[in-house]
């Protein structure tokens, strides 16, 4: 019998599947590795996740991991010296609607969860427009004036929210998301809409306000691995034929260096022998092509903008009778 608890096994199953699942599906997977003797094992699994802080109910019967929810944090708040000194957040006009379940002068307990899964107990006073009780957390995260927090709702009924210091988001997050998008498209084998890609990354339907919404859009538009196959449907550039790949790479080159590389590929595809020559002011591309009765050489200057193409040599071959 497997020694892990039901909750630990459920956690592992969700981790492996990378998406929210119905508790009955989770139960079927748990039964494969652990003998559940209860008459209704589905109820045991559902109850185990219900009392474990690592899980959150996405919809009726659908469970996911709390740690996935930080990706939905989208409400920014910039810290002031007053906030740091008093451990507070001022309820601004765009924050207030997310804490509007109490409009009187009472202090209401809420829970923040940070990027490490640590719970922070805080109080909200809607009338005073203040959240307080965060002083120790500010100190622990070594936050400073003008640092930005990102706040997002986890569970309204439990008054639970995510709070993230923007500087705690890993610098390679964008790269990680880019690689994940590649795997999603590779496994699907066909173009997907932005909404479908977003849902696969964030683990639920998109709202275009989440922490990574702009990341995903910018990656799809700037990463040379991806191409918009049709309106709002994205695929891998490797799915295109060679001519389409060269054209799109040349059109969307991110730098002069990339442009030079793709332009060289373009002329080579057309049958030219290509080399770059550097002088003290310009980089010159020389393209040579041997055709039936002539040898052409082209000199291309002014790259990548305002370029000129000049024939610098044309040699007639003698006709052999």
Pick the CATH number of 73-168 from 3.10.20.30, 2.40.330.10, 3.30.450.20, 3.20.20.10: 2.40.330.10
Span 6-67 CATH architecture: Orthogonal Bundle (1.10)
Whole-number Cα distances in Å, 171 to 68, 92, 174, 279, 297: 18, 28, 7, 38, 47
Q: Is 32 left (phi over 0), alpha (psi -120 to 50) or beta?
A: alpha
SS3 18: coil
- Say what the pLDDT of residue 1 is: 47
- Say what the pLDDT of residue 131 is: 96
SS3 156: coil
Pick the CATH number of 173-239 from 3.40.1350, 1.10.10, 3.40.50, 1.10.3470: 1.10.10
Q: How far, in Å, CA of 122 to CA of 134, rounded? A: 7
What's the pTM value of the predicted model, to 2 decimals?
Answer: 0.51
Positions of the chain with pLDDT lower than 50, given as ranges: 1, 321
């Amino acid at each position: 019998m497997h020694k892990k608890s039901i909750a630990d096994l459920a956690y592992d199953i969700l981790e492996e599947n990378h998406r929210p699942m119905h508790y009955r599906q989770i139960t079927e997977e748990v039964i494969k590795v652990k003998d559940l003797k209860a008459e209704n094992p589905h109820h045991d699994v559902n109850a185990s996740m219900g009392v474990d802080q690592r899980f959150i109910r996405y919809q009726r019967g659908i469970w996911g991991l709390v740690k996935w929810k930080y990706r939905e944090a989208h409400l920014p708040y910039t810290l002031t010296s007053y906030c740091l000194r008093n451990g507070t957040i001022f309820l601004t006009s765009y924050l207030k609607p997310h804490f509007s379940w109490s409009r009187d002068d009472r202090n209401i307990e809420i829970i923040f969860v940070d990027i490490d899964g640590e719970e922070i107990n805080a109080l909200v006073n809607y009338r005073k427009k203040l959240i307080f009780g965060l002083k120790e957390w500010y100190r622990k995260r070594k936050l400073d004036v003008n640092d930005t927090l990102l706040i997002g709702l986890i569970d309204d009924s439990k008054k639970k929210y995510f709070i993230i210091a923007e500087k705690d988001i890993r610098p390679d997050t964008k790269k990680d998301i880019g690689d994940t998008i590649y795997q999603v498209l590779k496994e699907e084998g066909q173009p997907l809409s932005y909404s479908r890609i977003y849902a696969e990354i964030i683990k639920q339907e998109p709202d275009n306000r989440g922490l990574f919404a702009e990341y995903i859009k910018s990656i799809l538009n700037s990463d040379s691995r991806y191409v918009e196959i049709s309106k709002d449907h994205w695929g891998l550039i490797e799915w295109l034929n060679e001519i389409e790949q060269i054209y799109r790479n040349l059109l969307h080159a991110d730098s002069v260096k990339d442009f030079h590389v793709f332009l060289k590929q373009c002329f080579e595809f057309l049958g030219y022998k290509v080399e770059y020559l550097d002088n003290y002011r310009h980089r010159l591309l020389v393209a040579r092509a041997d055709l039936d009765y002539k040898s052409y050489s082209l000199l291309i200057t002014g790259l990548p903008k305002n370029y000129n193409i000049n024939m610098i040599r044309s040699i007639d071959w003698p006709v052999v009778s």
